[in-house]
Amino acid sequence: MANSFVHLRALGVRNCKLLKKIVVTEESGDGIRSQKSCFPALKILHLFKLPNLEKFYAGDHIECLFLEALKIKNCPKINTFVSNSTDKAVPEETNMISGARQPLFSNQKVTLPKLRILTLEICNSVIEIWDDYDTKDRGQQSAAAAGRSRSAIFQSLEFLRISKCGRLNKLLEANSSSSFENLTVLEVSDCERMEYLFTPSAAKTLVLLKKMGASKCQAMTEIIASSPEVDHDDKLLSFDNLELLVLESLPSLTSFYMGNCTLEFPKLSRVVVVGSCPELWSFCGQGTITTPKLRTFVRRTSRKRRWIRLDAWLRGC
């Protein structure tokens, strides 16, 4: 049925209390499921206030070859974009014990080559946003196949906003090979379990990032993770196009990056700290930092604002 909407460019679904799926697969006469590519011209997809929505597509794989903007808001039960009838939901307790995770997007199930804008808000069942490929196949894929899967979802992504996803604790796994080469704006807020935004290897792919903001994430200790299991040999992290960094109400944040390397921000002109960040005393814990254009404004509370010496804050306010 979805294949009949060959010219549909925008689809919005909202306020449907009983809706669990948007698209289900159809079987041909020989019992083979069809409909791999649906809505072939779709560019915009908005899903709003769907309290029982569990997935967008009930099938094995979906291609939205022209989808550019995807917004999912107030869909508390959705935890995967695509899932067939044999996929079973994994309880949170099982996830924590076994390490099993069901991503919202899987490169083996979803193809979104032109996705530029992704917004997730109030999606409390999302535990993992994406994976490089299915965990069971990670040791079996060839290098070429792995390379093809790395950027299948992210290759065109420019704007990413994630808000009020209470079970999400990181954007990427530490061993992920995904890249964000076209990302220009990143906003993360009200994700109480979020520990960090990027690993060093993922941060190196942020070559076009201009604005980055993190707010009201109680568990966040760093923006770039420096945990021992993160493997990176290069001692330089350069954010070539970052102009604005906003940090707001991050009670556990201790530093932008605590690792031992050089941070370069050739275009960074503003760092805004809003609300309470009581543990934030230095910007770069063990390494050095280069910020030739930075003028720092810090507003600690709504009633008190002050300008401070740049070198003082970078090394410890």
Q: What is the pLDDT of residues 89-113, one digit of tens each?
A: 555 444 444 345 688 998 888 889 9
Judge contact between 148 and 105, C-beta under 8 A.
no
- First-to-last C-alpha distance (Å) of the chain: 61
d(CA 130, CA 173): 9
Sequence spans of domains, the chain: 2-140+153-315
- Give strand pairing partners of 105: 130
Quick one: tokens of 308?
């401070």
Give me the torsion for CA of 48, 53, 57, 58, rounded to 10°.
-170
Positions in the chain short of pLDDT 50: 28-32, 34, 92-99, 133-151, 229-232, 307-309, 317
Q: What is the pLDDT of residues 275-300, one digit of tens each?
A: 888 888 778 877 788 889 887 666 55
pLDDT at 31: 41
pLDDT at 297: 66
pLDDT at 80: 93
Burial class of residue 96, CB neighbours in 10 A (0-12, 13-18, 19+): exposed
d(CA 105, CA 153): 8
Among 95, 173, 67, 185, which Cα is nearest to 129's? 173
pLDDT at 20: 95
pLDDT at 53: 97
Which amino acid type is present at position 100? A
Burial class of residue 64, CB neighbours in 10 A (0-12, 13-18, 19+): buried
Judge contact between 194 and 168, C-beta under 8 A.
yes
